Amino acid sequence: NAGVMQNPRHLVRRRGQEARLRCSPMKGHSHVYWYRQLPEEGLKFMVYLQKENIIDESGMPKERFSAEFPKEGPSILRIQQVVRGDSAAYFCASSPDSTSGNTIYFGEGSWLTVV
């Protein structure tokens, strides 16, 4: 009965490289959320996806960041041409549907370090 699975747990990238973070939701969940946690900050919402659809991307930076949740396979958060300011913990979460009040289950996070 696996929870939300994220990989890699830790990722080091040089400035200008690409980072790809993967997230497999809990079994039976078709809704995925990505949050970013910067040092000394709380979690900031980035994007909310359903299979093959982006529902809300109001928290995504306009450039270099993209997310997808294909029909098959995990959700991917992609950061192109990373900069030092992208260093953060990225958390994926999932829920069975979009009903507000549902418990959202979080993965253990992917820590991105840009050097």
Site residues (vs another protein, CB under 8 A): 4, 6, 31, 33, 35, 40-45, 48, 55-56, 91, 93, 95, 97-109
Which positions ≥6 away from 111 have C-beta within 8 Å?
Answer: 9, 10, 11, 88, 89, 90
β-strand partners of 80: none
Alpha-carbon gap, residue 46 to 43, rounded angstroms = 9
Alpha-carbon gap, residue 38 to 99, rounded angstroms = 27
By C-beta, is 41 or 72 nearer to another protein?
Answer: 41
Q: Beta strand 19-24 with 75-79: parallel, antiparallel or unpaired?
A: antiparallel
> What is the nearest approach in angstroms of another protein to the Cβ of residue 101?
5
By C-beta, is 79 or 107 nearer to another protein?
Answer: 107
By C-beta, is 13 or 109 nearer to another protein?
Answer: 109
β-strand partners of 6: 23
> What is the nearest approach in angstroms of another protein to the Cβ of residue 81?
27
> What is the nearest approach in angstroms of another protein to the Cβ of residue 62?
19
By C-beta, is 45 or 78 nearer to another protein?
Answer: 45
> What is the nearest approach in angstroms of another protein to the Cβ of residue 22?
15
